[in-house]
Amino acid sequence: MTKIVTYDVMREHEGDRFYKKGETRELAETDAKHLLALGVLSVPGSEIKRSQASNPFARKAEAEAEFTAFIQKANDARIAITAEIDKARSDADGKIKSILAEVGKARSDADEQISSIMAEVEKAKVEAATKAKVEEQPANKAELISEKSK
């Protein structure tokens, strides 16, 4: 169960309803948390929060410091991400070079095998041509009869 607390309104704010400076509001602690952080509300009797809420320069300085810290974190994150991207690119380039070298070797090996096979085919053709020179056969019966009659 949420505890209901009475808060002082430290500055005007348009939220779920209008908060006018100097008023008191009763809210659940969970509902008031973000308004406390914004300096809209403070716990009654809290002079530190009251002085910070009434001093716009203190709030501005805090906001600027928070913004600067946020920008620094964003820059750090960008630098880290850029470094990771550069490393990934470098790794990918190395892998691509390795793959291209393997493809080049495979092509070279395949060319050697093709040349070897072609040389064996030519050698077999020459051997076949020299081993058995078959006499020319007549193309039809008429030529066969005329050759026999000779």
Mean pLDDT of successive 10-residue stretches along the chain, which has 150 residues: 82 84 86 82 66 62 84 95 96 96 96 95 85 62 66
What is the model's pLDDT at position 51? 54
Q: Is the dihedral of CA 125, 126, 132, 135 positive or negative?
A: positive
Residue 41's CB is within 10 A of a number of other CB atoms, namely 28
Cβ partners under 8 Å of residue 51, min gap 6: 58
DSSP-assigned beta bridge partners for residue 18: 14
Determine the Cα–Cα distance for residues 57 and 60; give it in Å rounded to an integer.
5
Q: What is the pLDDT of residue 149?
A: 67
Q: Output phi, psi for 18, to 5 deg.
A: -80, 130
- Using DSSP's 3-state secondary structure scheme, residue 17 falls into coil
Task: Give CA–CA dist 121/50, Å, rounded.
Answer: 100
Residue 143 confidence (pLDDT): 65
Residue 3's pLDDT is: 84
Full-model pTM: 0.39
